[in-house]
Amino acid sequence: MTLVARLQADPAHHIGFFGYTEEEVADELAGVQPEWHQGAVLAIASSGALRGVLSTDVNPAVGRAWLYGPHIDVPTGHPATPQAWHTAADMLLDAALKLPHLQGIRDVNLYGHVEHRELGEFARRHGFERETPTRIFTLQGADLRSMLTQECVQVERLPADGSLNDQFTTLMKRCFPDTTNTPEQLLHGKHVVVALRQADGKLAGFAAGYTQEVEHLVDYVAVEPDMRSVGVGRRVVKGLLCELDAQNGAKSQAAAVVRIDNDASSTMFQRLGFSVELELVSYRRKP
């Protein structure tokens, strides 16, 4: 945890899945599948010192895996540093891909800061394609507390009787065809899902997310096409954060990940008071 947290502070080594503190790193790794100690590989120097780590997370239901790293501890500014980084990273990747839970998984993903040049070169050499960068939007402190004091009118938890489940599933599949979770995983996993109904009782939109060590994460927001541009997205985001706050207690910030080409979502979060904290980019290798 100490090595990862130390490297996370430098954009040139920052991996997108983690925060900045040891507590945030531990919280993120607590949610990977399989458990971290079964899905991580280490690089150990001849002296016995830890020099690198690559953790893995797999969702067999969507056939995808995420590589949390690699984090490589190499001297900065030395001419041989890039080569040393890549040598260690190649060894970690080779070991990770041999882990039992990664057998049969062909859709593999990396995620890091846009300034992490070694990760970009590593991805290129191993056949990963660079995807559209994303922005991390955050709402912090007093601004978050102020928003949570506003009434969340007509926003509700997705009904336990399943009456909106089919509409939810259809909307999610339409808006997120290349998702990281299935609708069933959102309905029955760690996510909280809130909905807003139209006047006739049909689903207008939903937001789904969960709480981490220091933040509430808005993971999915979807609105029916004929209900867009009328504030549905903002209302379900506010409703979700109210639910997460009530269920899990106050956190210092809320966060959301938005593609840089998604102008509608960027505008929505900005109108809610969110601001851009950093930019990250994914690299993906598909069959």
Number of domains in the chain: 2
Q: Which two tokens stand for residue 11?
A: 């954009």
Q: Which of 130, 160, 180 is the last residue of a domain?
A: 130
Check whether residue 150 and residue 208 sit in a common domain.
yes
Query: What's the predicted TM-score (pTM) here?
Result: 0.90
What sections of the chain are H helices per DSSP? 2-8, 22-29, 36-39, 81-96, 117-125, 141-148, 165-175, 183-188, 232-248, 263-271
Determine the structural domain holding residue 167 and report its residue range: 136-279
Q: Quick one: pLDDT at residue 75?
A: 74
Check whether residue 199 and residue 158 sit in a common domain.
yes
Position 175 confidence tier, pLDDT thresholds 50, 70, 90: very high
Closest CA to 28 of 223, 276, 210: 210
Check whether residue 19 and residue 42 sit in a common domain.
yes
Q: Which residue is listed with tokens 């960068």?
A: 133
Q: Quick one: pLDDT at residue 27?
A: 86
Dihedral (CA of 17, 189, 194, 163) sign: positive
Q: Quick one: pLDDT at residue 151?
A: 76
Per-residue pLDDT averaged across 260-273, rounded?
Answer: 96
According to DSSP, residue 49 is labeled: -
> Cα(first)–Cα(last) distance of the chain, in Å?
32
- State residue 193 phi and psi, 5-degree precision: -120, 125
Q: Quick one: pLDDT at residue 31?
A: 85
Residue 53 to residues 69, 111, 124: CA-CA distances in angstroms? 7, 15, 20
pLDDT at residue 76 greater than cutoff 90 = no
Whether the Cβ atoms of residue 111 and residue 57 lie closer than 8 Å to each other:
no
- State residue 192 phi and psi, 5-degree precision: -100, 130
Domain assignment present for 210 = yes
Q: Quick one: pLDDT at residue 195?
A: 97
Domain assignment present for 237 = yes
Q: Quick one: pLDDT at residue 81?
A: 81
What's 92's domain CATH number? 3.40.630.30
Check whether residue 87 and residue 118 sit in a common domain.
yes
Measure the CA–CA gap between 156 and 195, rounded to whole angstroms: 5
Measure the CA–CA gap between 250 and 147, rounded to whole angstroms: 12
